Amino acid sequence: MPPAKYEHMRVCANLTIILGQYVKANRLGMIGTEGGYILESDPDTILAPDVSFVAQHRISLSPAGYHSGPPDLAVEVLSPGDRRSYVERKLAVYLETGTRSVWLVDPRGRTVEVVKSLNDRRILHETDELVDDTVPGFRVKVSEIFA
């Protein structure tokens, strides 16, 4: 895959800073960027969300150096070239393997879709506040993600 373009990189950095500062200040776990998670074995399925959160009590590495198991939160920042069918397949894998919440962040539409299950999805706009109990107590105005 080609390297991320500026807007994708900027939104990922914003999310990493916003989530990271909150998680660190509250000692909730760890924030990762583009790190691998072993979601299934034989055959291996390893995904690397743009930004992720793992609760403190779930942090564990496999012998291969990846996190063993799914993240609690996976954040995927959408790129203009992303096919919706690919994004939906990836989303399904996260949820089926135990990820509690997936955020699909759309820099072009300036929205965040919070997905807890394939039947529990909500789209937030810039005027909304993002609150997700996957990261206890976390809240941020959607507009700050794109600032």
Q: State mean pLDDT over 63-83.
A: 87
Cβ neighbours, 10 Å, residue 86: 10
Long-range contacts of 112-119 (CB under 8 A, 24+ apart): 112/142, 112/145, 115/91, 118/91, 118/92
Q: In which band, very low, low, confident or very high, does the pLDDT at 1 lie, cut at 50, 70 and 90?
A: low
What are the pLDDT digits (tens) for 96-106? 999 999 999 99
pLDDT at 2 over 80: no
State the pLDDT at residue 77.
95
Domains of the chain: 6-145 (3.90.1570.10)
State the pLDDT at residue 63.
61
Q: What percent of the chain has pLDDT over 70?
A: 95
Q: Could you tell me if 52 and 37 are in contact, meaning their C-beta atoms sit under 8 angstroms apart? A: yes
State the pLDDT at residue 45.
87
What are the pLDDT digits (tens) for 44-63? 788 999 999 999 888 776 66
State the pLDDT at residue 94.
95
| 80 or 52, which is more confident | 52
Q: What percent of the chain has pLDDT over 90?
A: 69
State the pLDDT at residue 61.
65
Print the SS3 string covering the chain.
CCCCCHHHHHHHHHHHHHHHHHHHHCCCEEEECCCCEEEECCCCEEECCCEEEEEHHHCCECCCCCEECCCCEEEEECCCCCCHHHHHHHHHHHHHCCCCEEEEEECCCCEEEEEEECCEEEEECCCCEEECCCCCCCEEEHHHHCC
Task: Compute the mean pLDDT over every residue in the chain, rounded to the nearest whole number.
Answer: 91
Q: In which band, very low, low, confident or very high, does the pLDDT at 8 lie, cut at 50, 70 and 90?
A: confident
